[in-house]
Structure 1
Amino acid sequence: MTARTENLNVVGVDHMPSPVEIKARVPMTGQAAEAVLAGRRALMDILDRKDPRMFVIVGPCSIHDPKAGLDYARRLRKLADDVRDTFHIIMRVYFEKPRTSTGWKGFINDPRMDDSFHIEEGMERGRRFLRDVAELGLPAATEALDPIAPQYYGDLVSWTAIGARTAESQTHREMASGLSTPVGFKNGTDGSLEAAVNGILSASRPHSFLGLSDSGASAIIRTGGNAYGHLVLRGGGGRPNYDTVSIALAEQALTKAKLPRNIVVDCSHSNSWKKPELQPLVMRDVIHQIREGNRSVVGLMVESFIEAGNQPIPADLSQLRYGCSVTDACVDWATTEQMLRKGHEVLRDVLRSRGTA
């Protein structure tokens, strides 16, 4: 009888390997585990104000070519050493892309970029890429979009974002409450802070919800709450929100909610009108605020790749430009290096005496 009432719009159900199967194919290594744990410890210390540095989430808008991604990671690893006394560098490794309507939904969903949707392949290759990055000694950041995905690769992530479109989602708040990483909640696409602040509060509490066990069975997941939720300002509603007034209002909203005044400024998205050439100006403005005494901004986000700009996905994938984003436009490597080195130079002495917010 159920054949008449369920799966009416489902055209196929394919086997997906369980988390434990994917982890067996791409096992954690000691070297990778140390990088992940060190990345998380540093982030928690910064958020707790035990570490005076800032953290910077920097990397491609999305990963589509693991070879170019690792090329970028090796460059970033060397730069991270040079600025480590000011910035804790974390590579942006985003595999899932939320879409307003349609478009490529990311490496895990469609790793071959041809609408074949080999999710099982994307998950394994995505986990392998995260392990490769960790084995370089570089922690990774990602956006949690699919509530099942963290079971497959969450052990290799040091920082997690809940995006502007999902910060209001109860499913994502529950998921965030159980993640092992600090979690940044982005303000809404309209620029409002309410969903993000409520998301941080919700994720800090215990939850029980349906999920997936490592063996692939349905399970009731029970969490203790995540104490390291924080606010990410990304602009919205037709305007940026990294200016002094916007940050002061964000501080007030966090204080009213009895939350730590921990704020990350996303230099991309609406804060730069999605124009990558404006990202250095956003970063420079925020750094100026810190020099003038701001104590609440603890982190920055930058969309960066080897080549500047972005490109459409061609029918002939051999025509893809190496190291150039296929989603949001990015600053190039030379600009990235200049931004981080200049920020390091300006803030090196400022942060040591910054104190707590």
Structure 2
Amino acid sequence: MSMQLNRQLPMPADLKAQHPLSPAVLERKAQRDREIREVFEGKSDKFIVIIGPCSADNQEALLEYVHRLAEINEAVKDRLLLIPRVYTNKPRTTGQGYKGMLHQPSPDKAPDLLEGIIAIRRMHIRVIEGTGLTAADEMLYPENRSYLDDVLSYEAVGARSVENQQHRLTASGMDIPVGMKNPTSGDLSVMLNSIQAAQSSHNFLYRGWDATTGGNPLAHAILRGGVDKYGTCVPNYHYEDLMRLLELYGERDLLNPAVIVDVNHSNSDKKYKEQIRITSEVLHSRSHSRELHKLVKGVMIESYLEEGCQPIEGERTYGKSITDPCLGWADTRSLIFSIAERA
């Protein structure tokens, strides 16, 4: 085999024992999980805003961002549920480029997966301890989530992973909301099949165990736009797209129909300023239809301290994305308050 085994990584239980959660963090996590669950179960009318950097590439910048978010949260918490994006591993279309803090705790140094799993666990704990906000991350590697499954309040399965069997089956054993993105093709049936699989019980191989899951009733849709055969972005956030998804949900026996609209990626063609306009249109569609008001639970926004993005090479600006471009803080603050007024 052309594979070199470098070293065996610690078991998740051992890492958790080395970096445990305090009673206060455990209590806060349980409270946040209840609040978020109630939105997806239709018991709460709060609007979810999953917001933060494309990738958590710098611990201090990320923590400063979430502290600012927590200050805003105090002003909008009666209307919104803010969930910071703390994305610690990144899918790469060609396999090249920065793969996230899991791989490289420092973007300037060589990959170190042992230091990476320690760094991302510590960072998620620091977020909760410092701000009281529990976060969202992407389930890029299903087996790796065991290092974080006690700290996350939301997980997303990306457009390139949503058709993967291991992702679907692992999602069926989670006790928090998991959002299934439509694939890059934009095919909604693939996404809905994934939701159906995640809401069902399964028996499968997981981390060397014969595992059985009970199904996750909080699995739901994330619309992120698609790309046609010519490479042109095709958005799916418009009123007609949301009504079509509502119709497709109605054709299936799925629990807690819900959608989060990702206003970046192929919905904005990565024109990050468009996220402001797209969010406004989603809120308008939601206010226009009682059915959509129930279906559309929130939006997902990419935002950081500084707007835009920058190359990873050379001297970098603190708080500016090294992956996809993001809204800056001034626009972020304004947008959150605008959402709170209209949601």
TM range (shorter): over 0.9
Q: Distance in 1 between matches of 2:328 and 2:184?
A: 26
Q: Does 1:171 align with 2:170?
A: no
Deviation, 1:114, is 4.2
Aligned runs of 1:195-234 on 2, under 5 Å? 195-212=190-207, 218-234=208-224
Aligned runs of 1:6-85 on 2, under 5 Å? 8-85=1-78
Alpha carbons 1:239, 1:270 under 8 Å: kept: yes
Q: Distance in 2 between matches of 1:261 and 1:20?
A: 34
Q: Among 111, 118, 130, which residue is 1:117 paired with? A: 111
Q: Could you list the per-position Cα deviations for residues 40-83 of structure 1 after superposition, in whole angstroms to 9, with x for gaps in the alignment?
A: 21121111111011111001111010000100010001111111
Q: Distance in 1 between matches of 2:55 and 2:286?
A: 29
- Alignment partner, residue 146 of structure 1: 141
SS at 2:143 equivalent: coil
Aligned runs of 1:221-260 on 2, under 5 Å? 221-237=211-227, 238-259=233-254, 260=256
- Alignment partner, residue 106 of structure 1: 100
- Alignment partner, residue 334 of structure 2: 338
Deviates more, 1:155-164 or 1:8-17: 8-17
Alpha carbons 1:242, 1:282 under 8 Å: kept: yes
SS at 1:151 equivalent: helix
Aligned runs of 1:154-165 on 2, under 5 Å? 154-165=149-160
Deviation, 1:157, is 0.1
Alpha carbons 1:112, 1:118 under 8 Å: kept: no
Q: Distance in 2 between matches of 1:92 and 1:69?
A: 9
Q: Distance in 1 between matches of 2:312 and 2:15?
A: 28
Deviation, 1:261, is 2.9
- Alignment partner, residue 313 of structure 1: 312
Q: Distance in 1 between matches of 2:198 and 2:287?
A: 32
Q: Which runs of 5+ in 2 are unaligned?
A: 228-232
Q: Distance in 1 between matches of 2:39 and 2:301?
A: 18
SS at 1:21 equivalent: helix
Alpha carbons 1:141, 1:157 under 8 Å: kept: yes
Q: Distance in 1 between matches of 2:306 and 2:51?
A: 14
Q: Does 1:129 align with 2:123?
A: yes
Q: Could you list the per-position Cα deviations for residues 300-355 of structure 1 after superposition, in whole angstroms to 9, with x for gaps in the alignment?
A: 100000000111111x5xx22100111111001111110010111223xxxxxxxx
Q: Could you list the per-position Cα deviations for residues 124-144 of structure 1 after superposition, in whole angstroms to 9, with x for gaps in the alignment?
A: 110011011111210100110
Q: Does 1:272 align with 2:262?
A: no
- Alignment partner, residue 327 of structure 1: 323
Deviation, 1:100, is 0.9
Alpha carbons 1:31, 1:137 under 8 Å: kept: no
Q: Distance in 2 between matches of 1:83 and 1:297?
A: 19
SS at 1:64 equivalent: coil
RMSD: 1.2
Deviation, 1:236, is 0.8
Deviation, 1:22, is 1.4
Q: Distance in 2 between matches of 1:31 and 1:220?
A: 33
SS at 1:158 equivalent: strand
Q: Which runs of 5+ in 1 are unaligned?
A: 1-7, 213-217, 348-357
Q: Distance in 2 between matches of 1:207 and 1:34?
A: 30
Aligned residue type for 2:124: L
Deviation, 1:208, is 1.9
- Alignment partner, residue 80 of structure 2: 87
- TM value normalised by structure 2: 0.94
- TM value normalised by structure 1: 0.90
Alpha carbons 1:109, 1:118 under 8 Å: kept: yes
Q: Distance in 1 between matches of 2:62 and 2:200?
A: 36
Q: Could you list the per-position Cα deviations for residues 197-253 of structure 1 after superposition, in whole angstroms to 9, with x for gaps in the alignment?
A: 0111001111122222xxxxx222221111101111001122111101111111111
Deviation, 1:287, is 1.0
SS at 1:57 equivalent: strand
Deviation, 1:93, is 0.8
Deviation, 1:150, is 1.4
Alpha carbons 2:58, 2:106 under 8 Å: kept: no
Q: Which is higher, the Rg of structure 1 or of structure 2?
A: 1
Aligned residue type for 1:120: L
Q: Distance in 1 between matches of 2:211 and 2:310?
A: 40
Q: Distance in 1 between matches of 2:107 and 2:135?
A: 23
> How many residues align structurally?
332
Aligned residue type for 1:46: V
SS at 1:280 equivalent: helix
